[in-house]
Every structure is written in C-alpha cells, then in structure tokens.
Copies of this chain bind each other. A is one copy, B any other.
C-alpha cells in the first residue's frame, strides 16, 4: 500500500511526465476535485406552439441544427421571458448534436437537445420517465408533422416515415430510402427542421406536465425490448444487453442488416 497520498502522486505526475508547454503553463494543481455543486436550475413552463416555431427557426439559425433547435425552444424561451440564469447559458454549445454529433449520425440531435434541457432541471431518477416517453414516441411517429404556414424555408410537401429508432442514421437513412430523397438535400434538411419543431413541442408538453405534477408516461416498453430482455436483461441467463432502444432495426435479420460487404446488391 502506498504511503503517499493520491494528491501527491498525481501532482508529481502532472509536474514530471506531462512535459513542455502544458506543465509550465499551468499552476500546480492536484488531480483531486471536490466537484463543486452547481446552482440548481428551476424550470418554467413554456409555450409549445412558440417552442415548435423556435425549434424550426433554431434549426436553421446559423446552421446550428436540430439539437440547438429543441434546446433553444425550451431553455431559450425561458431566457427570453425570465432572463438569468437561462440567458447566460452558452447556447452555441448545443450545436454539438447537429447531424447526430458532427455528422456521426448517432443520437438524433433533436432528442439530445430536449434531453439536455430536461437534465438542466431534473436529476436522472426524475428525468428517466420523461426521456422514455419522448424517445418511445419518437420511435413510433411518422415525421415530420409540423407544417409551417409562413416564412417557410423549403416550401414543399414533405413526405413522412416512421424510423423505429432514435438514431440519426436510421431515422434519416430510412426516410431517404422510403422517400427516394437524398440524405444530403434541402428537402431532407427541411424534414429535419420540421422534425425539430415536432420534438420541441412534444418535449415542452412533457415538461409542462412535469412542472404541474401531472406527467405520466403513455408509452410502455417496446415488445422487442421486452422479448430480448427476457434472456439478455439484468439477472437473466445472458445479461449482456445495455439499452432501451427498439431492438428490431438491427436484430431482426432485415434486408438492411444482411451482409452488405459480399455479393451486394
């Protein structure tokens, strides 16, 4: 057992192994932290109709995209009505979720923006059912729903599809496959701008109910998750599965998941 403390050990590492600019530029600092408590953020009810439009406009604002759009629709609305601390949030950071994080097409950024807004106000136990409701609704909904009536960026009828997935890759690629419209196109962007409006509105409805103490999730666990967890869930014979996403897009032996690297198409 070591007779010197972690603080000494790591401060030593910081000073010796980390060389050059970093070591000399930084004041001596221990590698322990007290993780100072941040101020509590109090949620305010906001308007779902306004949020829908903020989401749509926010998506296009500076090209910040879907995650910024839903987050601004919620927290930006609070900022515009209530000032600090909401107005001091560095909103530009929420561009992080654009195209599922720098075009990696992981989580749908609209969902990430909404979940992040929930997380500003509620810890994980309180937030879980809110996120479950929003994400399950998303999996089963034909997007987009929103039809802007003025200041329309791409003034066309936008076809819809159900993604069965909260992942940007599945959501967008399935929509493109179904509609024949390229994944990189103005119409696809418009689809995602309107979807941002839809997610913003739904998230605000959930948040407002939560604030009123009236929130109750309507969407139960997906059948596929129920089925897979019966063997792969916690405490079962092969407890390897992590997650709550609908399992079917990747684990139902569909055409999409056949071997595409051999004899394809």
Residues of A bordering B, CB below 8 Å: 2, 5-6, 9-10, 13-14, 17-18, 21-23, 25-27, 29-33, 35-36, 38-39, 41, 45-50, 52-54, 57-58, 61-63, 72, 76-77, 79-81, 85, 87-96, 98-107, 111-112, 115-116, 118-120, 123-124, 127-128, 131-132, 135, 149-151, 166-169, 172-173, 176-177, 182-184, 208, 212, 224, 227-228, 234, 239-245, 247-248, 250-253, 256-262
A240 CB contacts on chain B under 8 angstroms: 173, 176-177, 182-183
Are A33 and B54 in touch, CB under 8 angstroms? yes
Are B26 and A49 in touch, CB under 8 angstroms? no
A242 CB contacts on chain B under 8 angstroms: 99-100, 103, 105, 168-169, 172-173, 176, 183-184
Are A135 and B104 in touch, CB under 8 angstroms? yes
Q: How far is the CA of A259 from the CA of B252 in the complex (A)?
A: 4
Copies of this protein in the complex = 2
A selection of 16 A-B contacts at a CB cut-off of 8 Å is: A10-B49, A14-B50, A18-B49, A30-B50, A35-B57, A35-B62, A100-B107, A101-B115, A106-B167, A106-B243, A169-B241, A173-B242, A251-B260, A253-B258, A253-B259, A253-B260
Query: Can you name the residue of chain B whose Cβ is closest to the Cβ of A11?
Result: B50
Are B261 and A248 in touch, CB under 8 angstroms? yes
Q: How far is the CA of A100 from the CA of B100 in the complex (A)?
A: 13
Task: Select the residue from A49, A79, A131 with max chain B CB neighbours within 10 A.
Answer: A49
Of B5, B9, B80, B106, the contact of A106 (CB 8 Å cutoff): B106
Are B106 and A93 in touch, CB under 8 angstroms? no
